């Protein structure tokens, strides 16, 4: 449940991003990951060993920075090279990869209901992202699409490998966010022109991004993949694009479409099927 709060926060990503104005992607990443760093730092006065927990071996830092910065760098590069909808569809294969890779972890076993659940979620995500217009998706496969596949691989691999480092405290995510903010700032200086938020509302959207979907979400996700039912979490992650669309609907930033209702049924049903073992176990205890 803690891990799933990350999915709920990622549902706010589209709303806050749209409300943040014309801030370039890498600049926005630098600003929001800096705020995300402060989210973790704010907890330090309440936990004596938090700073000491940042002292981890190099491979832990490599995994974290490759996961957070690597994903965003490749995603932004993909968006520059291919249509955003197509990049989003391919990148959202990561929950499917997450469930598949999880079967390689000690003590985990991929079962039929996991496969059924995650594919139902995938179909639901495709419907809601494409708004049911599958035929309208470009058939021209290019470099941007390859990068989108790399995105899916990076985030799923980061999530699964984090499970292998379950002994590493979540405090280290503070460091991941800090390094990602620095590297994003360097990319901004190299590739973009600086554009600051122009209104109070846009500044609030940037702060909201940094506090939740690009901040607290990474901490709760770390807890979820290290301690929770990782296959159920992967299947439930398909709720993010659906919830994001529902949030945009609530704020009048998109129109209702039949694909939203269909996606609700598919994603919810798929998550319940994938969580069959967990739900039955809880009901008998």
- Do 168 and 3 meet the contact criterion of CB atoms below 8 Å apart? no
Walk along the chain (285 residues) and give the pLDDT tens digit of each residue.
999 999 999 999 999 999 999 999 999 999 999 999 999 999 999 888 999 999 999 999 999 999 999 999 999 999 988 888 888 888 888 998 999 999 888 888 888 989 999 999 999 888 888 877 777 666 667 888 899 999 999 999 999 999 999 999 999 999 999 999 999 999 999 999 999 999 999 999 999 999 999 999 999 999 999 999 998 998 999 899 989 989 999 998 888 889 888 988 998 998 889 888 877 765 555
Q: Considering only CA atoms, which of 276, 285, 271 is closest in space to residue 121?
A: 271
Cα–Cα distances in angstroms (integers) from residue 65 to residues 85, 170, 285, in the given order: 26, 14, 40
Q: Model pTM?
A: 0.89
Joined tokens for residue 188: 């901004």
Q: How many residues does the chain have?
A: 285
- Do 17 and 25 meet the contact criterion of CB atoms below 8 Å apart? no
- The single residue listed with the structure tokens 């979400």 is 217
Range 262-269 contact pairs with CB under 8 angstroms and sequence separation of 24 or more: 262/124, 262/127, 262/132, 263/124, 263/125, 263/127, 263/128, 264/124, 265/124, 266/120, 266/121, 266/123, 266/124, 266/127, 267/120, 267/121, 267/124, 267/125, 267/238, 267/239, 267/242, 268/239, 269/117, 269/120
Ramachandran angles phi, psi of 23, nearest 5°: -65, 125
Cα separation, 10 vs 238, whole angstroms: 11
How many other CB atoms are there within 10 angstroms of residue 259's CB atom?
A: 21
- Do 222 and 170 meet the contact criterion of CB atoms below 8 Å apart? yes
Cα separation, 108 vs 159, whole angstroms: 14
Quote the pLDDT of residue 250. Answer: 92
């Amino acid at each position: 449940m803690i891990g799933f709060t990350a999915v709920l926060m990622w549902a706010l990503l589209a709303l806050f991003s749209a409300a943040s104005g014309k801030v370039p992607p890498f600049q926005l990443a630098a600003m929001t990951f800096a705020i995300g760093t402060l989210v973790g730092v704010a907890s330090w006065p309440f936990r004596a060993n938090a700073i000491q927990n940042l002292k981890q071996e190099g491979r832990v830092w490599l995994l974290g920075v490759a996961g957070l910065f690597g994903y965003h760098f490749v995603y932004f590069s993909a968006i520059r090279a291919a249509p955003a909808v197509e990049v989003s569809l391919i990148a959202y294969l990561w929950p499917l990869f997450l469930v598949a890779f999880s079967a390689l972890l000690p003590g985990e076993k991929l079962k039929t209901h996991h496969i059924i659940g995650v594919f139902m979620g995938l179909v639901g995500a495709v419907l809601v992202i494409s708004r049911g217009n599958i035929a309208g998706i470009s058939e021209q496969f290019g470099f941007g699409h390859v990068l989108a596949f790399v995105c899916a691989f990076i985030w799923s691999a980061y999530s699964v490998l984090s499970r292998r480092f379950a002994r590493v405290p979540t405090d280290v995510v503070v460091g991941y966010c800090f390094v990602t903010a620095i590297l994003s700032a360097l990319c901004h200086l190299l590739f973009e022109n600086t554009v600051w938020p122009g209104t109070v509302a846009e500044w609030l959207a940037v702060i909201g991004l940094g506090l939740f979907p690009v901040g607290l979400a990474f901490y709760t996700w770390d807890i979820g993949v290290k301690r929770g039912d990782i296959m159920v979490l992967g299947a439930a992650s398909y709720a993010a694009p659906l919830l994001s669309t529902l949030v945009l609907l609530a704020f009048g930033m998109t129109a209702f479409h039949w694909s939203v209702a269909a996606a609700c049924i598919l994603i919810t049903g798929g998550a319940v099927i994938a969580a069959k073992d967990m739900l039955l176990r809880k009901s008998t205890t």
